[in-house]
Amino acid sequence: MVVSSIGVDVTALTALAEFPDTTPRGIAGVIARLVNTGELAGGERLPTVRDLASELGVSPATVSQAWQALARAGLIESRGRAGSFVRRATPTWLAPRMRGMAAPNDPVRLDLSRGTPDPLLLPALGPALSRVSARAETGSYQAEPVIPALAAVLADSWPSRAESIMVVDGALDAISRTLEQVVRFGDRVVVEHPGFPPFLDLLDVLGAEAVPVTLDEQGMLPEALARALQRRPVAVLLQPRAQNPTGASMSTERAADLARVIRSATDVDDLVVIEDDHSGLISTEGDVTLGTSLPDRVVHVRSFAKSHGPDLRIAALGGPRDLIDRIVARRMLGPGWTSRMLQTILLDLLTDGTAIDAVAEARRAYYTRQRALGDALRARGVPVVHADGINLWVPVLSERSALVQLAAAGIRVAAGTPFLAAGEAAVGANGSRSRAAGEFVRVTVGVLRDGTDEVADALATAARHLAAGGY
């Protein structure tokens, strides 16, 4: 690559890559391939719209549309009069796979990439905030970490008997603290394939090896889990409902089958099952846990981010007393406890009739949106499976092509690659070691309030498109 003192030379750019298709989509495709392969590095300034248009013999508006599509896909960024630049990597304070999930802050017509709930469907915090000031107490540094009234509400709603329940700062905090008590360097942990990228980042930090296991519409396959347990893992990490990214939810029969597989396995006497019920109260499927069959092995995590608001930063985890006590003890040497003011707000939201009705309405709305887009895609020949929660896992011929095609339509979705255990082969039901078939993108259906047919048309077109040049 020949780079001038002010950026990529337009002549060098056109010498490096041919532009057989000079439509906005074709131009965007070539630039996307160069960025994806590293031939255009982060931070390099691109030719001006006018210079490239002149070189290609097209109008400046054509190149401008291509630049806009690339910006919406997160590949380039505009710095006003300074020009357009290849986007640098996201901040290093994000773990590697979390960087892969991070969406750019560029404005987009419709952002379906972030995996967050619809803010319009969250219960109003105002009434709870107005009441908490009269009841909140600072307490003591040595007081119980969970306020008694909240502990009672959580215990009454828990899917199985838990010896101890505590409150932490979100589901990922709960998962992280449990793994730190269970996993040592070099240990193996069974994970879902595809699964939630931060789980894999956590295992990397702990020096653990991920053993990915394939899924179907009800989650982890019992036969595949049985094969994975032969590798003597110390933990199984799964999502019982609204699995991220696939939307799969376990039935009680599947949970019993998985528990039976674990009970019959050899050399895994100390195995711990960690369940992340991140979408519990907005899931349309019934409450389910392996803890009914394995009460001494299961740590169940319930998050209230999707139902009551991500910024509350509250999740509860329950399980065997000795393990929960170790987590509490270690946490007392750090944050100590989750703010009792926040706990009181959550307690109010879990017991106030208006807030309860708001969460029930959100659950109905998410179900309607999920079903509407899924049905529309299946009607257009895209084989998506029925899903629970707010996300939909959409098969595509080319992930990168789909991202750019959708960006050109003003729609942003999440790339599927971060959800796969990179370099790892998943354990299948027959013991085969194979990666996920095909490529995917994740679509956050939960924020799709209207325009379902238009989005389905764009997704179906992008799913079937495979650009020349392999970007």
Last residue of a domain, one of 301, 328, 352: 352
Q: What is the CATH number of the domain that holds 44?
A: 1.10.10.10
Amino acid 145: pLDDT:
87
Between 71 and 123, where is the model more confident? 123
In terms of domains, do 168 and 281 share one? yes
- Would you state the pLDDT for residue 432? 47
Residue 182 CB burial class (10 angstroms; 0-12, 13-18, ≥19): buried
Tell me if 471 is assigned to some domain.
Answer: no
Statement: residue 50 has pLDDT above 80: yes
Question: What sign results for the dihedral spanned by CA atoms 51, 55, 58, 62?
Answer: negative
CATH classification of the domain holding 431: 3.90.1150.10
Identify which of 154, 73, 83 has the alpha carbon closest to the alpha carbon of residue 410.
Answer: 73
Q: Which domain covers residue 115, as residue numbers?
A: 96-120+355-464
- Looking up residue 299, the CATH number of its domain turns out to be 3.40.640.10
In this structure, the answer to whether residues 103 and 181 fall within a common structural domain is: no
Give yes or no for residue 222 having a pLDDT over 60. Answer: yes
258 & 393 share domain: no
DSSP percent split of the chain into helix, strand, coil, nearest 5: 45, 15, 40
Strands 110-111 and 411-412: parallel
pLDDT tens track for 68-79 = 888 877 788 888
Q: Which residue in this structure is represented by tokens 């053993």?
A: 211
Q: Is the peptide bond before 47 cis (omega within 30 degrees of 0)?
A: no
In a domain, 91, yes or no: no
- Is there a single domain that holds both residue 112 and residue 213? no
Q: Helices 452-464 and 353-379: crossing angle, nearest 10°?
A: 50
Q: Is residue 173 part of a domain?
A: yes
pLDDT at 275 over 50: yes
pLDDT of the residue at 56: 93
pLDDT value at position 434? 40
- Residue ending a domain, among 326, 352, 378, is 352
CA distance 446 to 278: 14
**Residue where a domain stops, chosen among 27, 61, 86:** 86
Same domain, 145 and 234: yes
Question: Same structural domain for residues 170 and 291?
Answer: yes
Same domain? 152 vs 138: yes
Position 228 in a domain? yes
Residue with tokens 């930063």: 313
**pTM of this structure:** 0.79
In a domain, 302, yes or no: yes
Per residue in 382-396, pLDDT tens?
999 999 999 999 999
Are residues 54 and 102 located together in one domain of the fold? no
Q: Tell me, what's the pLDDT at 71?
A: 82
Q: Using one digit for the tens of pLDDT, what is the confidence trace for 415-458?
A: 999 998 754 456 665 554 443 557 999 999 999 999 999 999 99
Structural domain tally of the chain? Answer: 3
Tell me the CA end-to-end span of the chain in Å, nearest whole number. Answer: 18
pLDDT over 80 (residue 5): no
The reply to whether 470 falls in a domain is no
Report pLDDT for 421. 79
Q: Is residue 310 part of a domain?
A: yes
Same domain, 360 and 327: no
Can you tell me which residue has the tokens 């199985």? Answer: 160
Same domain assignment for residues 182 and 280 = yes
CA distance 359 to 122: 7
Q: Is residue 307 part of a domain?
A: yes
Residues 170 and 300 in one domain: yes
Residue 379 has pLDDT above 90, yes or no: yes
Q: Are residues 148 and 277 in the same domain?
A: yes
pLDDT in tens, 307-356: 999 999 999 999 999 999 999 999 989 988 999 889 999 999 999 999 99
What's the rounded Cα separation, in Å, for the pair 187 and 183? 6
